[in-house]
Structure 1
Amino acid sequence: MNQDKTLTCKDCGAEFIFTASEQDFYAEKGFTNEPQRCKPCRIARKNGGAPQKEMFTTRCASCGCEARVPFQPREDRPVYCSDCFSKQR
C-alpha cells in the first residue's frame, strides 16, 4: 500500500504531495518515474508558458444563468451561456 510522499518541484522548488492514489494511478498506467513538477508548473509547461486567460462572470441574456466568458462583457451586446449559445447557431 502506497503512502503520500512529499516531493520538490524541479522548476519552482516548492514542495508538493504525491498522494497514494496518484501513485496507484501511475503504477496502473505503467509509469516508472515520479512527477518532477508541482501542478501549477505542469499546467504552465503544458500551456507553453502562456498565461491562462482571464475569465469574466456575467449573466446569460437568454436563460439568466451564470456564464463564464474569456472576454470583458459589454452592456450593449448580449452574452449567452454555452448551452444558449449553441442553440442560437
Structure 2
Amino acid sequence: MNQDKTLTCRDCGDQFVFSASEQDFFAEKGFTNEPGRCPQCRAANKQRNGGGRGGNSNYQQREMHDATCAACGVSTQVPFRPSGDRPVYCRDCFSNNR
C-alpha cells in the first residue's frame, strides 16, 4: 500500500505531493521513476515541447515533395520523395483506393 510522498520539483524547487493514487497509476503503467517536476512545471514543459507524446524540442516539420496524382492528375504534396517506379496518389484518390 502506497502512502503520499512529498517531492521537490527539479525546475522550480517547490514541494509537491506525489499521492498514493498517482503512485499506483505510475506502477500500473510500468513507470519506475518518481516524477521530477511538480504538476505545474510538468504542464509547462509539455506545452513547450509540443504537447506530449512524440513532441520534443527537436521536432521538425516533415519535408513535403511535389508530385502528380497517378489517378486524377492533380498536383499534390507527399511526405516522401517519389522515385518514379510506383504510382503516387493525392489524399482523395489514396483514400478511395484503400
Structure 2 length-normalised TM: 0.49
Which residue identity lines up with residue 28 of structure 1 in the other structure? E
Q: What is the CA RMSD across the aligned residues, in angstroms?
A: 1.0
SS state at 2:7 partner: strand
Task: Kindly name which structure, 1 or 2, has the bigger radius of gyration based on alpha carbons.
Answer: 2
CA distance in 2 between counterparts of 1:6 and 1:21 reads 14
Structure 2: how far apart are the matches of 1:19 and 1:13?
Answer: 18
The C-alpha deviation readout for 1:10-64, integer Å capped at 9, x for no partner, is 0000000000000000000000000000011001100107xxxxxxxxxxxxxxx
By relative contact order (CA 8 Å, sep 6+), the higher-ranking structure is 1
Runs (4+) of structure 1 exceeding 4 A deviation are none
- 1:23 matched residue in structure 2: 23
SS of equivalent to 1:45: helix
- Runs of 5+ consecutive residues of structure 2 not aligned to the other structure: 50-98
TM-score (norm 1): 0.54
The number of residue pairs the alignment matches comes to 49
> Gaps spanning 5+ residues in structure 1: where?
50-89
